[in-house]
Chain A
Amino acid sequence: MLIAQYTVNGLLVGAVFALIGLGFSLVWGILNIINLAHAAFIMLGAYFSWMLVHHVGLNPILTIPIVMAILFVLGYAMQRSLLNLVMRAPLLTTFLLTFGLETLIINLGQRLWSADTRSVPVSYSGRGIVFSGNGIDIGRPGSEANVVVPFVPLVAFVIALLLVAGVWIIMERTRIGRAIRAVGSDITAAKLMGIDIGHTYALTFGLSAALAGAAGSLVAMQQGFSPATFGAYNIRAFIVVILGGLGSVPGALAGGIVFGLIDQFSQAPLPHGGLFGWSSLARIKDVIFFAVLLIVLIVRPTGLLGREGYR
């Protein structure tokens, strides 16, 4: 039943990747910025959660709204004070600026919180819904278990889906969402309609940072982490967006799920005792992602569900 287990795991981690990709996709689609500080925001989310759990004693799930509020303010201020200054500069400039911010924040994190591995303890970790020959059970998986749906990733999955749905509602049903989409599709027309461009950009960036923060909290609940853990998330976010297609909430969701499935299935053991002495392809996961990225970009550059811009 390995295939069923990999599918379950892939779907569960896929929702969190969708959340990460969605924030990245928002900033890219509306502001035309590849935000390399996205991974740094995920890191900040994870560490703020950790601090709230360790020093204040909050329940890990309750830290998420607080983390999102802090990251929203931080993102808003960063866009207003720094990124708005280079919005009309060449792509390389904004790319480099966010690269600099990423380097600054991640390494500041390393100084503040050290490079030690941290984790956020969750009371129900290790338990889950166990499907086995004897039927469905709740508790710790035993040796007879066929498929396990672990609780912590399940909770993260549900929260991630709720947040994705929340963003969809904001974008489609509210005045702010309409303003954001208007700025994304035609900046001059939006300006003529009386939309404050600088403010709307900052709101978008703040929203994206808040989503990254929430994703950071969810990651922290599930695995041990250090500041260096998060560097890889920019590329993951990018691949999610490329897979699903830039500029839509369903696209980010589809991209996240596909990414999660690839991520999990790469751990499957290889037939005939492996290849080059590798027992599974997980050891060269990043090489696989690079290949997938190239193939998708060349064969279907709009992704599974993508269109131009953000609509």
Chain B
Amino acid sequence: MNANTVIFAVVVVLGLLTARRTTVTWHRVLPLGLLTGILLLAPAFSDNLSVLTPVFIGALLGMGWNIIGGYAGYGSFGQVAFFGIGAYAMAASIATTENFLALPPVAGLLIAAAVSGVYALLVGLPVLRLRGHYFAITTLTLAIATQQLVKNLDFLGGASGISTPIIRKQQLLFAELDRDTYFYFLGFILTAGAVLATWWLSRSKFGYGLQAIRENEDAATSMGIDTTRYKLQAFIIAAVITGVAGALQAYLRSGVSPEDDGVFQIRFNLLPLIIPLIGGTGTVWGPLIGAFAFLGIEHVLTSASGSSTFVQDWERVITGAIIVAVVLLLPRGLVQLVGSRGPRGWRMFADNIRATRV
């Protein structure tokens, strides 16, 4: 049991308490304050801060998917396309080698967000005309097509990708930070921004429109919702958040590669799905909880096995098993555990299954 394991567990518990349905305000504000405090102070007592930064990347991936898949009900299976595009835009912006722009990282992040958004606009126009199965598998095709296209464009480095400078020390806001702390707080700020965006969305007319589309698109149209515009906006917001996650990945790893172990790897297509699924789709806190829960499990397995190859070898087998188990037993994710309605304990699992079987 190391300090990071404790942080993972505490964040999941506090996240669930924050997500709880309650009418008493301080029942939510207190856990939220504690959650923020823990995350801000984590660098002080974490035993290895570089374990926590990828959790923010995972949380961003989950939050991006959650907007289009969770709120609008358009389950995208190709978010890795936007992750990769964002990562490439970032790398091309900050790389100092010939033909690249050598811009400061903030400009890189903005460019990555813009490029991912424009790509989503171009792709979304035709793809969002499709529904259900057709949408899902077309986005899956999009992911593969995007990787292949990027890999075969020579001005993006072709098969070797793009390398960017390694960061050792960097100025963030007012302080000069060492590498691990810098990336941790950068991830924290971006994640906090995404949480705020989702929170705003969940209470806005736009967010209710998306949920209406999820429940019944034809009914939403007849209620006067411009479904095409809403879906496209949601798709773009999702892509921007996902692209920013990709940009952070490229920045953190000092570059991008188009190969199957690079920014287009299957892992980054699985994380956007599994993280909201574990935490709870269509909720503000679900993706954050899911990221700390799922990557926490991976962290515990890594620490327990004493070598990192165990998780590398079995990671996707475990991921697959977790997806199957969660879909069957807890389709509404961990937040269902703190829901105010319905039965508790084993009855809850049994009821979840009984509701959908033939």
Say how far B325's CB is from chain A's closest CB, in angstroms. Answer: 8
The reply to whether B141 and A89 form a contact with Cβ atoms under 8 Å apart is no
Are A87 and B152 closer than 8 Å at their CB atoms?
A: no
| B317 contact from A84, A111, A290, Cβ within 8 A | A111
Contact between chains at B323 and A96 (CB < 8 Å): yes
Q: Looking at the complex, which one of A34, A106, A111, A239 makes contact with B136 (CB distance below 8 Å)?
A: A34
Q: What residues on A are CB-neighbors of B129 within 8 Å?
A: 297-298
Q: Which residue of chain A has its CB nearest to the CB of B73?
A: A92
Query: Assuming the A-B contacts A87-B357, A228-B260, are A111 and B313 also in contact, with contact meaning beta carbons closer than 8 angstroms in the complex?
Result: yes
* Cβ of A234 under 8 Å from chain B: yes
* Interface residues as binary, B125-141 with A (CB distance below 8 Å gives 1, 0 otherwise): 01101101110111011
Beta-carbon contact of B140 and A234 below 8 Å? yes
Are B75 and A201 in contact, CB atoms less than 8 angstroms apart?
no
Sample 11 A-B pairs with CB under 8 A, ordered by A number.
Answer: A85-B353, A85-B357, A86-B328, A96-B75, A103-B316, A111-B317, A197-B358, A283-B152, A284-B149, A286-B144, A294-B126
Chain B neighbourhood of A28, CB < 8 A: 133
Contact yes or no, A287 B149, CB < 8 A: yes
Complex: A234 Cα to B321 Cα, angstroms: 20
Chain A: number of interface residues, binned into ranges: 35 or more
Q: In the complex, what distance in Å separates the CA atom of A111 from the CA atom of B309?
A: 13
Residues of B within 8 A of A (CB): 69, 73, 75, 77, 126-127, 129-130, 132-134, 136-138, 140-142, 144-145, 148-149, 152-154, 260, 266, 270, 273, 277, 313-314, 316-317, 319-324, 327-328, 331, 353, 355-358
Is A92 a contact partner of B69 (Cβ separation < 8 A)?
yes
Known contacts A92-B69, A235-B137; A100 and B149 CB within 8 A of each other: no
Query: Which residues of the other chain, A, contact B140 by a CB distance below 8 angstroms?
Result: 234-235
Query: Would you call B75 and A95 a contact (CB within 8 A)?
Result: yes
Most interface-central of A231, A234, A277, A287 (chain B CB within 10 A)? A287
Q: Closest 10 A-B residue pairs measured CB to CB?
A: A104-B320, A100-B323, A103-B320, A89-B356, A290-B145, A107-B316, A100-B324, A87-B358, A92-B75, A287-B145
CB distance from A259 to the nearest CB of B (A): 13
Q: Is the CB of B153 within 8 A of A276?
A: yes
A108–B148 CA distance with the chains assembled, in angstroms? 26
Main secondary structure of the interface of B (DSSP, over half): helix
Contact B324 A86 (CB under 8 A): no
Contacts of A286 in B (CB 8 A): 141, 144-145, 148
Q: Does A168 contact B (CB under 8 A)?
A: no
Q: Which residue of A lies closest to B126 (CB)?
A: A294
A97 & B142 in contact (Cβ 8 Å cutoff): no
**Which residues of A sit under 8 angstroms from B316, Cβ to Cβ?**
103-104, 106-107, 110
A96-B138 in contact (CB<8A): no
Query: Bound complex: CA of A82 vs CA of B152, how far in Å?
Result: 41
Q: Name which of A104, A239, A289 has the most chain B CB atoms within 10 A of its CB.
A: A104
> B132: which of A91, A104, A234 is its contact (CB, 8 Å)?
A91
Residues of A within 8 A of B319 (CB): 100, 103
CA distance A278 to B127 in the complex (A): 27
